[in-house]
Amino acid sequence: MTETVKVADIEKAHKNPIAELVQIACKFDSHIEIESEGKNINAKSLMGIMAFGLKDGMAVTISATGNDETEAVEAIKKFLICEN
């Protein structure tokens, strides 16, 4: 499953957005990737997310493959667009 979203101001909405995003991704069995501007990273990689540089207004594509891919993409999407 793949979905493209525009990142909200996650720095303002979350205390530690990078660690929180990795924690969410790690709850799922599926392989989850986030892609933007030619960069593609594993959402379960803390170092990858740090290097990725998520910022407000950035368009990212979330992709997941596995038995819980729909739930994984939805959870990551909700986090990135700051929807509770």
Sheet with 39-42, edge to edge strand ranges: 2-6, 59-65, 31-36, 39-42
Catalytic residue among 1, 3, 8, 14: 14
- 14 is a catalytic site residue: yes
Per-residue pLDDT tens for 12-64? 999 999 999 999 999 999 999 999 999 999 999 999 999 999 999 999 999 99
Q: Which of 22, 6, 5 is nearest to 14 (CA)?
A: 22
The structure's pTM equals 0.94
pLDDT at 84: 67
**For 64, phi and psi rounded to 5 degrees?**
-140, 140
